[in-house]
Amino acid sequence: MNAEKSFVYSVISGVLIYVIYDIIKGMFIIPRQEYKVLKQKVSYTLTMLASYYSNPIDLKGSTQEQTQPYRNAAIEMRVVASELRSFIEKKSWLRFGIPCNDDVYEASKLLIGLSNSFFTAYGTGDCDIAQIEINEKRVHKVRELLKLHLYEE
């Protein structure tokens, strides 16, 4: 009889451990892994597209050939911003190492602002120093909000 009880307790404890692990995995491990991937993608995108948001061009007088890479870069930035914003929908009460939803939303909003600023106001010329400074502040704030390594670009 003791062997049967021992077997039943072993099975029940094994099932409980599996259920607890599955809950922890779903609420902490997977969201954290997904956030790390998103964080890496944001860092890569900020670095890779710096030449566009640091050098906005004017659509007036620019050819399609000149503006197309900027349009593609703006779309790429917006895609990353959208992926970051959709991460907010991951509900988790264990958020160790993951910023709060407000910070993630703010970072996404700043990335969308960056994606909208690859071009200067129509007819103002290519060198819009004020826009470039605003973009630098946006990048710094995104890095701060998402706890990306801060460095000078």
Residue 52 has what pLDDT?
A: 93
**Global pTM value:** 0.82
Question: Helix H segments across 25-122?
Answer: 30-48, 50-53, 64-87, 101-115
Q: Is residue 151 within 8 Å of residue 140, measured between CB atoms?
A: no
Whole-angstrom distance, CA of residue 114 vs CA of residue 9: 58
The residue type of 115 is S
Question: Helix H segments across 49-100?
Answer: 50-53, 64-87
Residue 11 has what pLDDT?
A: 85
Residue 86 has what pLDDT?
A: 93
Closest listed residue to residue 49, CA positions, set 9, 22, 76: 76
Residue 153 has what pLDDT?
A: 47
* pLDDT single digits (tens) 115-141: 999 988 766 666 678 888 999 999 999
Whole-angstrom distance, CA of residue 148 vs CA of residue 153: 13
